[in-house]
A and B are shown apart, each in its own frame.
Chain A
Amino acid sequence: MNQQPILEVKNLKQHFKINRKFTVKAVDGISFQIMPGQTYGLVGESGSGKSTTGRSIIRLYNPTDGEVIFNGKDISGKMTKDELKLLRTKMQMIFQDPMACLNPRKKVIDIIAEGIDIHHEFKTQEERNQKVYDILELVGLSKEHATRYPHQFSGGQRQRIGIARTLIMNPDLIIADEAISALDVSIQAQVVNLMKKIQKETNTAFLFIAHDLSMVKYISDHIGVLHLGHLVETGTTEEIFNNPIHPYTKSLLSAIPSPNPKVEKTRVSLSYDYATSGIDYELGSQHHISGSHYVLATEKELEEWKNTE
Chain B
Amino acid sequence: MADRERILKIRDLNISFTTDHGKINAIRGVNLDLYKGETIAIVGESGSGKSVTTKAVMGILASNGTIDSGVIEYSWNDENTGEHKTVDIAQLSEKDLQKEIRGRKIAMVFQDPMTSLNPTMTIGKQVMEPMIYHYGKSKEEAYKKTLELLELVGITDAEKRMKNYPHQLSGGMRQRVVIAIALSCDPYVLICDEPTTALDVTIQAKILELIQDIQKKKNLSVIYITHDLGVVAKVADYVNVMYAGKIVETGLIDEVYYDPRHPYTWGLLSAMPDLDTDDDELYTIPGTPPNLAYRVDGDAFAPRNQFALNIDLRVEPPMFDVPGSSTHKVASWLMHPNAPDVKMPEALKNRIEKMKKEGE
In Å, the complex CA distance between A211 and B200 comes to 7
Per-position 1/0 for A188-204, Cβ under 8 A of B: 11101100100000000
B200 pairs with A264, CB closer than 8 A: no
Most buried by A among B203, B268, B273, B277: B273
Scan residues 190-228 of chain A and give those whose CB is less than 8 A from a CB of chain B: 190, 192-193, 196, 211-215, 217-218
Partner of B228, one of A156, A185, A217: A185
Say yes or no: is B230 at the interface (Cβ < 8 Å to chain A).
Answer: yes
A263 pairs with B358, CB closer than 8 A: yes
A262 pairs with B355, CB closer than 8 A: yes
Top 3 A-B residue pairs of the complex, sorted by shortest distance between their CB atoms? A257-B230, A262-B359, A264-B233
Say yes or no: is A300 at the interface (Cβ < 8 Å to chain B).
Answer: no
The A interface is mostly helix, strand or loop, or mixed, namely helix
B268 pairs with A269, CB closer than 8 A: no
Q: Which residue of B lies closest to A258 (CB)?
A: B230
In Å, the complex CA distance between A178 and B324 comes to 44
Q: Which residue of B lies closest to A215 (CB)?
A: B273
In Å, the complex CA distance between A83 and B192 comes to 51
Give the distance to chain B from A242, nearest Cβ to Cβ, in Å: 11
Given known A186-B268, A214-B275, A256-B230, contact A261–B202 (CB-CB < 8 A): no
Partner of A196, one of B45, B206, B231, B280: B280
Scan residues 219-268 of chain A and give those whose CB is less than 8 A from a CB of chain B: 241, 251-252, 255-265, 267
Say yes or no: is B1 at the interface (Cβ < 8 Å to chain A).
Answer: no
Say yes or no: is A272 at the interface (Cβ < 8 Å to chain B).
Answer: yes
Q: Which residue of A lies closest to B43 (CB)?
A: A185
Q: Which residue of B lies closest to A264 (CB)?
A: B233
Per-position 1/0 for A99-119, Cβ under 8 A of B: 000000000000000000000
Residues of A whose CB lies within 8 Å of any CB of B are: 45-46, 154-156, 184-190, 192-193, 196, 211-215, 217-218, 241, 251-252, 255-265, 267, 269, 271-272
Give the distance to chain B from A185, nearest Cβ to Cβ, in Å: 5
Give the distance to chain A from B104, nearest Cβ to Cβ, in Å: 31
Scan residues 252-304 of chain B and give those whose CB is less than 8 A from a CB of chain A: 253-254, 257-258, 267-269, 271-275, 277, 280-285, 288
Partner of B202, one of A252, A259, A264: A252
Say yes or no: is B229 at the interface (Cβ < 8 Å to chain A).
Answer: yes
Residues of A near B272 (CB, < 8 A) are: 185, 214, 259
Most buried by B among A189, A213, A252, A256: A189
Q: Which residue of B lies closest to A218 (CB)?
A: B273
A-B contact pairs, 5 of them (CB 8 A): A211-B201, A256-B201, A260-B233, A269-B202, A269-B209
Give the distance to chain B from A22, nearest Cβ to Cβ, in Å: 16
Give the distance to chain B from A214, nearest Cβ to Cβ, in Å: 5
Residues of A near B233 (CB, < 8 A) are: 257-261, 263-265
Most buried by B among A46, A212, A257, A263: A257
In Å, the complex CA distance between A213 and B282 comes to 15
Per-position 1/0 for B183-201, Cβ under 8 A of A: 0000000000000000011
